[in-house]
Structure formats: C-alpha cells, structure tokens
Chains A and B, each alone.
Chain A
Amino acid sequence: MDDLSGHLRTVMRITFFFLSLCFIGWALYPEQKPLFGGLVLGAAASLVNAFHLSWKVQRIGANAAAKGAKRNNLGFLTRACIGLLAVVVATRYFSFSVYGTVAGLFVAQLATLILGFRSKGRSAARHSSDERGENN
C-alpha cells in the first residue's frame, strides 16, 4: 500500500541531493549563476509536480478500489501551469536561464525513471530466483 509514498520519498531525497549540488555549483562558479539558479527553480517546480501527481494518483486509486462513480482527473493543466510559472519567474524576476529551468523540470521525472528501472530489475531478479527455488 505504501509503495508510492516510499517511492516519492526517494524521489524527494534525490531531488534535494540535486538541489544541494546546484547550490554548491552556484557557490563555486558565481559566473554560472543563471544556469544553476534556473536548475534550482526548475527542480523545485518538478518536485511540486511530483507531489501533486502522487496525490492525484492516490485519489484515482482509492476511487477505483472503492468502485466509486466519482470522476477524477489527473490535473495535467495545474502541473503545466506550475512549470510555466517557474519559467516566467526565472526569466522575469531573477533573470535565470530558461534552458536551465527547462532542464531542471526534468529532474524528478528522471529520478522516477531511474527508480522505476531499478525496482523492476529487483523484482525480476527476485522472481527468477523464486522460479529456481533459491528462496525456498
């Protein structure tokens, strides 16, 4: 039941690690401030998007398990507007790099992809060892 929250916690940890790397880069290379600032802003927006998506997925799952007739949406427009807001804030108020912000918007998705492949690989390995009878 708590697979999704554990997954989200790991995504949050990876994103915070990325943010700390960006801040270190910002401190060490001040001339690259627009790039690192954009990456920080994009990664923060990406983390908010991940939390919003997880909330929506849990609502849809609960509704499907209860066999309810209530209609749910995935809230894509909200997440798209959060991404757009990050780009507008980065360019208008902080003069950060647009390309850095757009790259930062990928961070949580990339972490999700890597974690997904890792968990699939682990479950496949467990399944094959179960078939060989190594766990008996």
Chain B
Amino acid sequence: MGATALIAAAIVFGLGALGAGIGNGLIVGRTVEGISRQPELRGTLQTTMFIGVALVEALPIISLVLAFIFYGEA
C-alpha cells in the first residue's frame, strides 16, 4: 500500500504539472506575442489570458492536494 500510494502521488502530480506547464506556456506565449503586436488590445488579451490560465491551473492545484492525501496515507 505504501509504495503504491507514493507512486500514485507522483503520477497524479507529475502529469498534472506537465499538462499545466504546456498549457500555461502556450497561453502566456501567445498572449505576450499578441500584446507586443497590438498593445491597444491589451485589456481584452489579458482577460482571455486570465480565463485560460485560471482554467488550466485548476487541475494541478487539485492534483497537488490529492497527491498530498495519497502521500499522507502511504
């Protein structure tokens, strides 16, 4: 049970962080590119970035909590 719970914690947080890293990189990169090209659209692009990052980051935060629950049960 102990080793299995540790592996589960590692997998759940590792895959969550991997997905969030890729997603955040794409969102922030495209937003910064857009703001650099058209600074007058900064407000709209920032709002879109806020929505995207908030959605992407919900999963790894939950996976971190789940990983610590698994770690506590190991």
Task: Say if A and B assemble together.
Answer: yes
Listed in ascending order, the chain A residues whose CB lies under 8 Å from chain B are: 1-4, 7-8, 49-50, 53-54, 57-58, 60-61, 64-65, 67, 74, 76, 79-80, 83-84, 87, 98, 101-102, 105-106, 108-109, 112-113, 115-116, 119
Docked Cα-Cα span, A129 to B65, in Å, equals: 46
B35 and A65 form a contact (CB under 8 A): yes
- Shortest beta-carbon distance from B44 to chain A in Å: 6
A87 and B49 form a contact (CB under 8 A): no
Q: How many residues of B contact A (CB 8 A)?
A: 31
- Shortest beta-carbon distance from B54 to chain A in Å: 5
- Shortest beta-carbon distance from B38 to chain A in Å: 10
Listed in ascending order, the chain B residues whose CB lies under 8 Å from chain A are: 20, 24, 28, 31-32, 35-36, 39, 42-51, 53-55, 57-58, 60-62, 64-66, 68-69
Residues of A within 8 A of B58 (CB): 105-106, 109
Known A74-B24, A83-B61, A83-B65; judge A61-B55 contact (CB<8 A). Answer: no
